[in-house]
Chains A and B, each alone.
Chain A
Amino acid sequence: MLIRKTHLSGENIPSSQITPLEAFHSATTDRRAFLARAGVLAAGSAAASMLPRRAFGMEPLKTVSGQFSTTEAQTPIVRATTYNNFYEFGVPKDQPAKNAHTLKTRPWTVQVTGMVKKPQTINIDDLINYRPVESRVYRHRCVEAWSMVIPWDGYSLSEFINFCEPLPSAKYVAFISLYDRKQMPEAPDDYNWPYHEGLRMDEAMHPLTLLTFGAYGQTLANQNGAPARIVLPWKWGYKSAKSIVKFHFTDKQPSTLWNEANSNEYGFYSNVNPKRGVRYSQERERRIDSGFPHEIPTQMFNGYGDQVASLYSGMDLMKNY
C-alpha cells in the first residue's frame, strides 16, 4: 500500500494541533463576550490580534506593506472568516466556514491557457513566491449591500499576466474556480459550475487588481477562496473569483456565472454603482467592522474612482453594468 506523504507545509500539521472550529468559536465567544461586558472591545485590531493563529488552517504569511491601502477601521478576522458567500460550500453565509474544511489546497496547480505564448501549469507555491506578497487594505462591497475592510495579501495580477505572456490578440482573461462535487457536496445544482468570471485585459492589468493568497497576514482561509483568488475592490464582491485553477486568455468577452443566472441584475462589468440597484437599493451599505454594523453611503466604484474611472471613459455605465 502506498501512503503518499507531501512535504508542503499545509499538510504537516498534526490534526491534534488544529483548533476545532467549535472550540475556536467558543473560545472567542467567551473572550469577546467578557471583553464586551468589560467595555474594552473598542478597536477591531485588538480583537483580530487575539485570535488563535491556527484557526481554519491559516498559516502566517510573509508580507511587505503595499500601496492603495485605506485607513478605515478593519473588519475583525472572525467576521471576515465566518460571514461568506462561497456557494460551492453552501448558500447561507455561515455555511462556508463550516463546510470549506473539505477543500484540499495542496497539491494545487494553476493552468494558463488560451492566447498565450506558451500554455503551462504552475504550482501554487511557485505562484505565491513569484513576487513579494504585499499587504493591501481594501474596501470590499458585496452586491447584498454589506461591506467589509480587509487587509488582503497578494501582488498585482499584472505581474502574473506579464509572466504568462499573452498574445496581442488576447483582449480578456477568464478565471475558472475549482469545482469538485466531492469536496463541495453543498453546491446547489442551479448554477453553471465551475464558477467562472472574467475581466477586460486593461482591468486585469490595473495595479489595483490583486492576485491574492492571504488576508490578515495569513494564508487565505478556505472559505475566503484559498489558495489563490482575485480581489477587485471597485467591483461587486462576486467578481472576485475564489480558489482559482485556471486563467484563460481570449479575444471574446468571457461569459460569467452570475450573468448567466440573472443577466438583468449581474452584468459583465459589475462595477460598484450606487445608482443601479435592481431588486433593492445600492445607495447605502452596512459596513461590517468591529462595532454594530452601521449604514454608510456607497460610493461610485466603491471609492476607487480616482484609480479606475478612466478605464470606462465614454461608456454608459447604466447600460454596461
Chain B
Amino acid sequence: MPNRLVPYIKALVHLLCLAPFFVELNRFRTGAFDLEADPVASITHFTGDWALWLLLVSLVVTPLRRLHPSLSNLIRFRRMLGLYAFFYASLHLLVYVLLFSGYDIQMAWDSLKHGQVAKLWSLWLTVWPGVVDDLTKRRFIQVGLFAWVILLALAVTSPNFMLRKLGGKNWQRLHRLVYVAAIAGCIHYWWLVKVGVKAPMKDTIALTLLLLARIGWTILKQRREPIPNASKAAQPAEA
C-alpha cells in the first residue's frame, strides 16, 4: 500500500468504525426503537457484537502484513481498530450499567434537567447492590468485565509516549493480553447464550483461525531460521 494513501484510508477506516455507532444513534433519533420490542436487548447485542468484531479485525492486521512486504504499513491501522473495539466494549458496559441494572434512566434524565446532579448518585446507590450481586455471582459478567479491563489497560498504554515509557519489550508483553481479551470475549458470549444456541460460533471460529495463523507463523519461522545452538546440539546425536 503506497504510504501517501495511508491518511486517506485512515479517514475511511474512522468513518467505517463509527458508522455502526451513528446508525444506532440515528435509530434512536428517528424513533425506530419505538417499533422494536426489546431495544435494550438489541443495543446490548449490537455494541457487544461490534466490540468483538472490531477486536477480531484488529487481530487480522498482523497475519495480513506477513503475507507480503507491501502490506507492512497496515500496522498503522492496528491501534485505531483496537481503540474502536474498546469504544464499543465501553458502550456495551455502559448499557449494562445504565439499562440492565435497573437504574432509573428517565428519573436520572429529569433530575439532570432540573440541575439535581446529586440525585444521579443516589439513584446509582439504589442499584449498586444488584450490580455487586451480579459481579460476585454471574460468571459471564465476570469474564466480560475481565475482558473490558484488559482492553482498558491496552487503551491507556496505546499512545506512543506510553510505548516509550514502558519500553518495547514490556509494551509488547502487555499488549499480547489482547489474545486473552478476545478469548474472554468469546467465553462471555458462550456463557450468556442458552444451551444449544450457536450464535457465538462464527466469532469463535474466526478467533481460532486468527490464533492458528500466529502459531503457524511461529513454527514456520523456527523451521526457516533454526536456532544455531539447537542445530549444533543435534549433530552429535546423528553421529
Interface status of A294 (Cβ within 8 A of chain B) = yes
19 further A-B contacts with Cβ under 8 Å, apart from A33-B34, A83-B38, are A33-B31, A75-B37, A80-B37, A93-B38, A188-B197, A262-B194, A262-B195, A280-B141, A281-B134, A281-B137, A281-B138, A283-B130, A284-B130, A286-B40, A288-B37, A292-B33, A293-B39, A293-B40, A295-B102
Q: Are A37 and B38 in contact (CB under 8 A)?
A: no
Interface status of B112 (Cβ within 8 A of chain A) = no
Interface status of A268 (Cβ within 8 A of chain B) = no
| Chain B interface main SS type | helix
Q: How far is the CB of B107 from chain A (nearest CB, A)?
A: 11
Interface status of B235 (Cβ within 8 A of chain A) = no
Interface status of A22 (Cβ within 8 A of chain B) = no
Q: Are A82 and B37 in contact (CB under 8 A)?
A: yes
Count of residues in B whose CB is under 8 Å from the partner chain: 33
Count of residues in A whose CB is under 8 Å from the partner chain: 37
How far is it, in angstroms, between the C-alpha of A41 and the C-alpha of B35 when the chains are bound?
11
Interface status of A29 (Cβ within 8 A of chain B) = yes
Across the two chains, which residue of chain A brings its CB closest to B30? A33
How far is it, in angstroms, between the C-alpha of A279 and the C-alpha of B197 when the chains are bound?
14
Across the two chains, which residue of chain A brings its CB closest to B199? A91
Q: Are B102 and A284 in contact (CB under 8 A)?
A: yes
Q: Are B37 and A93 in contact (CB under 8 A)?
A: yes
For chain B residues 166-195, which have a beta carbon within 8 Å of chain A?
191-192, 194-195
Using a CB–CB cutoff of 8 Å, the interface residues on chain A facing chain B are 28-29, 32-33, 36-37, 41, 75, 78-80, 82-83, 91-93, 144, 146, 188, 190-191, 261-262, 265, 277, 279-281, 283-284, 286, 288, 292-295, 297
Using a CB–CB cutoff of 8 Å, the interface residues on chain B facing chain A are 30-41, 99-103, 106, 130, 133-134, 137-138, 140-141, 191-192, 194-199
Q: Are A188 and B198 in contact (CB under 8 A)?
A: yes
Most A CB atoms within 10 A — which of B30, B34, B102?
A: B34
Q: Are B138 and A32 in contact (CB under 8 A)?
A: no
How far is it, in angstroms, between the C-alpha of A293 and the C-alpha of B100 when the chains are bound?
11
Q: How far is the CB of B48 from chain A (nearest CB, A)?
A: 14
Give 8 pairs: A residue, B residue, CB < 8 Å, sorted on A: A36-B31, A36-B34, A37-B31, A91-B198, A261-B196, A277-B138, A281-B134, A288-B38
